[in-house]
Amino acid sequence: MKNTPLVIEPEQLEQKLDHDDLLVVDLCKPETFAKGHIPGAVHLDYAQIVRLDRPRMGLLPDATSLSNIFSSIGLAPKTQVIAYDDEGGGRAARFLWTLDTVGHKTASLLDGGLFSWANEGHSLEITAHHPAQSKYAVNITDAPLASRDYILSHLNDPGVVLWDSRSALEYSGKKKFAERGGHIPGAINIDWLEVMDKSRNMRLKAEMDLRTLLEGKGITRDKTVITYCQTHHRSALTYFVLKVLGYPNIKGYPGSWSDWGNSPDTPIEV
């Protein structure tokens, strides 16, 4: 399916639902999916696309695990994926970022997710859809990934900027969900909620508004931008925002603060 934008509106998706090469992936809570979902959508539990190594959370699963997960939902290399969730885009964007790590080229976000679809009168179904299993071979690429070591080696690099997508209280260290609180030295704090427009059913804010927000904070296109939060859930959405805005060099930090803040020798600021 050609020329599908990175962010798709409910009306556009509705016109494509009968296309054979389309896979709509629902990352809502299971109970929400059971009550009603986009016709033909396949449910994917968020827990399947993240790996835990406590206290580190939100790590990237290995290639074999991802291959099994993608194959189980019938994904093929040329499938057009449309992902959505019921929380403003974090889970869906984490799935889309994961697809970036394996080089899947055709994947989009339903703007507003279930909020825009359901609240604007589009039909829902309750029947679970189970596609035929595929064989999706996974090779993980480093381009969308930022590891702890990568960040440590670029802390004083003027060409790299860190976007901390957590709340201001987490950024300051007043609220912590790891052994240590604070933020990565030099990181710029813009809460992920700032990219959402609650008045438009949780869609992303207009591109011009997003550009103004980021550039005003020094997150500019000429730099490599690394996004992180507590686990790379919220920051998956901010990574996706950068992709939509055409930033050429972007990375997400799987594990995020649960990795950095639980490491005894990483530098922090409060």
Catalytic residue among 219, 229, 244, 250: 229
Beta carbons of 245 and 214 less than 8 angstroms apart: yes
Share of the chain above pLDDT 70, in %: 99
Identify the pLDDT of residue 1: 53
pLDDT of 75-107, one tens digit each? 999 999 999 999 999 999 999 999 999 999 999
**What is the residue extent of each domain of the chain?**
7-119, 148-260
Identify the pLDDT of residue 247: 98
Identify the pLDDT of residue 3: 75
> Of 3.30.930.10, 3.20.20.10, 3.40.50.2000, 3.40.250.10, which CATH number belongs to 7-119?
3.40.250.10
Q: For 148-260, CATH number?
A: 3.40.250.10
Identify the pLDDT of residue 42: 97
Asked if residue 31 has pLDDT above 80, the reply is yes
Beta carbons of 35 and 127 less than 8 angstroms apart: no
Over residues 174-192, mean pLDDT: 98
Active site residue 229: yes
Identify the pLDDT of residue 264: 95
pLDDT of 47-61, one tens digit each? 999 999 999 999 999
pLDDT of 166-176, one tens digit each? 999 999 999 99
| 7-119 and 148-260 in the same fold | yes
Taking the model in full, what pTM does it have?
Answer: 0.97
Strand 56-59 and strand 51-53: the pairing is antiparallel
Over residues 151-159, mean pLDDT: 97
Identify the pLDDT of residue 28: 98
Identify the pLDDT of residue 2: 62
